[in-house]
Structure 1
């Protein structure tokens, strides 16, 4: 079992009325400075909901929206799952992450079934993918095997569990259009990212983690203009739309690497409130980041968008991160 898989485990605990309770732990390695990474935290909730739906006809998360009310602490936690509405093709679920009696994150989810074979006969089959001229091809132009692995960001305590590399073509295109006066403003970047341990595989919870991986290029650029070296960018709202089934072993798509296209356009009051839009694209199964293997022709047309995420985040002093970690810590009086 890989480090991420182990750190993302959730277990059924008990049922009280219409609430099903799962228990787990926020692990210290999956933190940014002292606070658990927001995508990892949401992944714990997603994992509990996936387990809740595993034996049903609607096992796949289609959309999840999370509101982060308080910082999650390292240590034990509960996820309370409740079915709001169950239909033939979609169901609505609410889930809350609770520590020491305090709700830290609340979510609303839509589950369904991504298997085309499970569609009812009356459904109009409509998918958009190459070779349709309307289908979007992956925006990545540089194959992960030809990219140079990059040094991980220092404040990510899980950096030794990750591999990542920039696709320079994404930022170069954005800068070229900006210089020509026809750009869309803000920042844009492309990163190949994956798990270092081969036993860690892509899952719904892993996609939630990668959707919040960063780096936060827009906020960092504004900080430099202000003469500040660093800050913390806490997530306030994060929504995930799962676009395609997870890659399977033995297929054409990698089971542990994704391409993340990250764009940010706006920053406003209060507290440097800004947007981050992320598209997670599949990666070719034939090669991993920086391994130098031969690039297969037509690899771009084979890739699929796995997830689209939208985030609202803030810019806060780094010392707030450390203070919040101390304040949020689960003490010995915890009943979890």
Structure 2
């Protein structure tokens, strides 16, 4: 290991320790299983493979229910329906816009193996006339993260993000210039954005299509595999740094959960390299307080282009 690498790791560790301290001091910590996120992702088994849930208005952005939150709700149902506890890979197609209120999740076990089980699920809601509408369709493979070997061989490196006291969240915006997109979901997140990715909030987007942030839940709940499904889709859209504004609805989202995250704040980096025809991709990486890559995702999203 070179001296430069050692210095970089020491700097990253120091920044993570400072972020952990800041996050701990900012709120009383809720426990996994007894937090707002857990209450708002509850599913109730009605019959084998069928679950009732109530989509909370607390996880909306510009009046639409956040796609990562929706994936976590469906992910909880699949965790109950399948013989393995943890999502390894989960892919969702968002068919119609979900809204706060009652929903039904129907699951089906495709295959149950020794190390992996695969299932599919759909979330439905009802229109005012009683018509049932499918909102999301998912296919996923689940396993046991605690049973994975410790061997890691990687060239991936955690994103470099300034210390928390040099980063900014929605609560730091002046009253007369609110952070774009700071709707209900922002109140449920502990989010500190890298100033280098905040040009959009100041009217001067960088054009680079990047977002980086320290991340946690506002009530202090530590991350687990289920909450990582929310994390990958919880930052402001990279489209903002490309100079676009408004809602950026997800068309498809695939998440890979790589290991169980250590307690403490997460580092999230999202990047877009190509916007064409009104669609863009977003690649996300989530790193835990131990410096491990715990989740990756790619999504295709639609943008509204000025004419």
Q: Is TM more than 0.5 here?
A: yes
Report the secondary structure of 2:159's partner residue.
coil
Q: Which has the larger radius of gyration?
A: 1
Report the secondary structure of 2:288's partner residue.
strand
* Residue among 294, 302, 305 paired with 1:314: 302
* Residue among 252, 259, 263 paired with 2:267: 259
Unaligned 5+ runs, structure 1: 120-124, 173-178, 180-184, 224-229, 248-252, 284-301, 319-336
User: CA contact under 8 A between 1:171 and 1:188: conserved in structure 2?
Assistant: no
User: CA contact under 8 A between 1:26 and 1:73: conserved in structure 2?
Assistant: yes
Deviation at 1:21, TM superposition (A): 0.5
Q: Distance in 1 between matches of 2:191 and 2:64?
A: 22
- 5 Å-filtered alignment, 1:212-291, equals 212-223=233-244, 230-247=245-262, 253-254=263-264, 257-269=265-277, 272-283=278-289
- 2:95 is matched with 69
Deviation at 1:192, TM superposition (A): 0.6
* Residue among 192, 199, 212 paired with 1:165: 192
Q: Normalized against structure 2, the TM-score is what?
A: 0.75
Cα–Cα, structure 1 residues 108 and 265, in superposed 2: closer, same or farther, change >3 Å? same
Deviation at 1:171, TM superposition (A): 8.8
Deviations 1:136-193 (A, max 9, x none): 342235344x444422545321222222112357899xxxxxx9xxxxx842231111
User: CA contact under 8 A between 2:198 and 2:241: conserved in structure 1?
Assistant: no
Cα–Cα, structure 1 residues 163 and 266, in superposed 2: closer, same or farther, change >3 Å? same
Task: Confirm or deny that 1:140 pairs with 2:152.
Answer: no
Deviation at 1:240, TM superposition (A): 0.2
- 1:201 is matched with 222
Report the secondary structure of 2:145's partner residue.
coil
User: CA contact under 8 A between 2:35 and 2:219: conserved in structure 1?
Assistant: yes
Report the secondary structure of 1:29's partner residue.
helix
Q: Distance in 2 between matches of 1:61 and 1:51?
A: 11
Cα–Cα, structure 1 residues 68 and 141, in superposed 2: closer, same or farther, change >3 Å? closer
Q: Distance in 2 between matches of 1:267 and 1:147?
A: 30
Report the secondary structure of 1:158's partner residue.
helix
User: CA contact under 8 A between 1:30 and 1:36: conserved in structure 2?
Assistant: yes
Deviation at 1:87, TM superposition (A): 1.2
User: CA contact under 8 A between 1:231 and 1:317: conserved in structure 2?
Assistant: no
Report the secondary structure of 2:46's partner residue.
strand
Report the secondary structure of 2:253's partner residue.
strand
Deviation at 1:204, TM superposition (A): 3.0
CA RMSD of aligned residues (A): 2.6
Q: Distance in 1 between matches of 2:259 and 2:197?
A: 23
- 5 Å-filtered alignment, 1:148-163, equals 148-152=167-171, 153-155=179-181, 156-163=183-190
Deviations 1:80-112 (A, max 9, x none): 111001111111100111112221100000111
Count of residue pairs brought into register by the alignment? 254
Deviation at 1:245, TM superposition (A): 1.3
Cα–Cα, structure 1 residues 165 and 62, in superposed 2: closer, same or farther, change >3 Å? same
